């Protein structure tokens, strides 16, 4: 009865009951869909070239947030999303390398609780499919952190196909629940993750419980690998070159309101040549990479469509909230010999559309994907930390609205718990739980006033940032020079205003330093680099 009263109160706050959308109190299903290494402008409704009709429909029928932030790299972002904490507080201040410092131990700690753990205690079935990457040892796998069922990639990157003869020179695990799984021929990870997500939902229906699903696609993280029928849609579509394609996206983003009318496009990355100086072979190779990359996003969107179709078949589509975002900005990374067999490195030299290839699109592709921003995954500039964010839920998310308020991954925990009428625990399994850092997005879902954050903070491998209102203070390691930008007038971070506003720089530096003590951040050059295992 107490849960019913709590949820009724939450729905009244949202205006759901008073607006007549809900006849009886029924807690919604909640789905979080996470893309991997996808840039800010890669989906259709945010200006991209890939065909994403399902995501576009969710955005048109729900909410788009244009200033939503992640933690700039895969492991920290996933830790933050799952726990509602800053990554360091959850034990994943860097990557999954095991270090002696608690904030950098490389797996979720016991002073954090996952969304799945909290919602399971309140009567939800909890499922996950896709990439985990916040604890590689079996004792840290999803089924040990609150998920009833799991299928996916425990590690950071792997082939999308199951019959690739050459794999990275390291132990990589695909798992079903708590056992390794051999995918075999006919496997394509994006399809397989959705297959299992649908299977889990189907099998849980007789329980009558609502469900929480965390669907963490591997796409479009390297290696660039897609199905031939999807690649064919995009061959030749990128021969206009990176400068023209960035400008086309930029114009679409302004026309749709993703960017304001006064937005400025950042210059082409300084490492890139003028497109017109490339020879034909170079242009064809890049077009091929971009075609495969777009095909990977296209296939992800097709699978989101499959999931929505299943919800309709189960008559759960009007009682499900879906949220979509990416774990970091687009990736500039290239395939290099470290950690790869000689044959795998040889495969990285193939055309991306060739069978057995293992390639990445590097800075040329990432600079387009992150339009209009500069820099990439790993850095704390907008190109590293900005993600498209979509929320959809009939009767809960107001249709066709947009918000430019700054929000963060840490906000997903209180949002999910608000939807589920689930309390955030102070104790869990005998451990004291660190208080959550986020602010529920439920008022934003209804288009109402939202208190937001006094400030948001970022740190990854020495790169740092603070976002306060329209101001953003940012620096990159190892230069460690603070730069100040006004995000309202200069979201592409072109004009450093630090010299003209020393008092604001000092104020934000003070906020940052206080936060590092609060979150357990260690200066990167002082962090013990030696692994403890």
- As annotated, the active-site residues are 74, 133
The secondary structure of 143-209, three-state, reads HHCCCCEEEEECCCCCCCECCCCCCCCCCCCEEECCEECCCCCCCEHHHHHHHHHHHHHHHHHHHCC
Q: DSSP character for 413?
A: H
- For residue 6, give the 3-state DSSP assignment: helix
- DSSP assignment of 25-62: --PPEEEEEEESS--TT-SGGGT-SS--HHHHHHHHTS
Alpha-carbon span 31 to 320, nearest angstrom:
7
Phi, psi torsion values for 372, nearest 5 degrees = -100, 15
**Is the distance from CB of 423 to CB of 417 less than 8 angstroms?**
yes
Provide the 10 A C-beta neighbour count for residue 260. Answer: 13
Helices (H) and strands (E) in the chain, counts: 15, 17
- H helix or E strand, kind and range, residue 485: strand 483-486
**Is the distance from CB of 34 to CB of 325 less than 8 angstroms?**
yes
Buried b (16+ CB within 10 A) or exposed e, 10-19: bbeebbbbee
- For residue 239, give the 3-state DSSP assignment: coil
Residue 463's DSSP bridge partners are 460
Residues in the chain: 533
Find tokens 């107001």 and name the residue: 398
For the record, the structure tokens of 235 come out as 């061959």
Burial of 500 (0-12, 13-18, 19+ CB in 10 A): exposed
Cis amide bond preceding 220, omega within 30: yes
Q: At what angle do helices 189-204 and 280-313 cross, to 10 degrees?
A: 10
**Is the distance from CB of 155 to CB of 138 less than 8 angstroms?**
no
**Is the distance from CB of 166 to CB of 344 less than 8 angstroms?**
yes
Nearest to 116 by CA among 145, 84, 75: 145
For the record, the structure tokens of 200 come out as 């889990």
Find tokens 């971009």 and name the residue: 290
Q: DSSP character for 268?
A: P
């Amino acid at each position: 009865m107490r849960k019913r009263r709590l949820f009724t109160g939450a729905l009244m706050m949202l205006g759901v009951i008073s607006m007549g959308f809900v006849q009886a109190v029924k807690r919604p299903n909640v789905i979080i869909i996470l893309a991997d290494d996808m840039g800010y402008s890669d989906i259709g409704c945010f200006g991209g070239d890939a065909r994403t009709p399902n995501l576009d429909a969710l955005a048109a029928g729900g909410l788009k947030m244009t200033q939503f932030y992640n933690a700039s790299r895969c492991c920290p972002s996933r830790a933050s999303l799952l726990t509602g904490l800053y990554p360091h507080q959850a034990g994943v201040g860097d990557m999954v390398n095991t270090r002696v410092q608690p904030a950098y131990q490389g797996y979720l700690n016991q002073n954090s609780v996952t969304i799945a753990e909290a919602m399971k205690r309140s009567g939800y079935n909890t499922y996950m499919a896709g990439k985990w990457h916040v604890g590689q040892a079996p004792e840290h796998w999803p089924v040990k952190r609150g998920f009833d069922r799991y299928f996916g990639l425990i590690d950071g990157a792997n082939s999308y196909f199951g019959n690739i003869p050459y794999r990275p020179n390291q132990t990589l695990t695909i798992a079903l629940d708590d056992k390794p799984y051999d995918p075999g021929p006919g496997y394509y990870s994006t399809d397989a993750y959705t297959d299992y997500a649908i299977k889990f939902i189907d099998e849980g229906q007789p329980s009558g419980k609502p469900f929480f699903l965390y669907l963490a696609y591997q796409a479009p993280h390297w290696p660039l690998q897609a199905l031939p029928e999807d690649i064919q849609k995009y061959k030749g579509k990128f021969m206009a070159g990176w400068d023209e394609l960035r400008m086309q996206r930029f114009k679409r983003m302004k026309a749709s309101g993703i960017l304001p009318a006064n937005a400025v496009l950042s210059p082409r990355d300084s490492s890139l040549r003028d497109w017109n100086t490339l020879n034909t072979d170079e242009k064809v190779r890049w077009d091929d990479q971009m075609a495969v990359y777009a095909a990977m996003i296209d296939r992800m969107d097709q699978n989101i469509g499959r999931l929505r179709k299943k919800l309709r078949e189960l008559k759960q589509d009007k009682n499900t909230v879906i949220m979509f975002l990416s774990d970091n900005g687009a990736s500039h990374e290239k395939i290099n010999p470290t950690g790869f067999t000689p044959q795998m490195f040889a495969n990285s030299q193939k055309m991306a559309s060739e069978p057995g290839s293992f390639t990445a699109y590097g800075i040329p592709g990432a600079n387009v994907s992150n339009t209009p921003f500069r820099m990439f995954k790993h850095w704390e500039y907008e190109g590293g930390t900005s993600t498209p964010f979509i929320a959809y839920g009939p009767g809960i998310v107001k249709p066709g609205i947009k918000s430019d308020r700054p929000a963060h991954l840490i906000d997903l925990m209180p949002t999910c718990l608000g939807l589920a009428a689930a309390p955030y625990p102070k104790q869990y399994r005998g451990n004291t739980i660190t208080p959550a850092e986020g602010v529920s997005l439920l008022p934003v879902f209804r288009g109402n006033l939202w208190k937001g954050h006094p400030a948001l903070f970022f740190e990854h491998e020495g790169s740092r940032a603070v976002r306060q209102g329209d101001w953003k203070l940012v620096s990159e390691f190892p230069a460690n020079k603070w730069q100040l930008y006004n995000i309202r007038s200069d979201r592409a971070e072109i004009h450093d205003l630090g010299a003209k506003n020393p008092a604001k720089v000092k104020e934000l530096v003070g906020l940052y330093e206080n936060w590092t003590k609060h979150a357990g951040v260690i200066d990167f050059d002082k962090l013990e680099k030696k692994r403890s295992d």
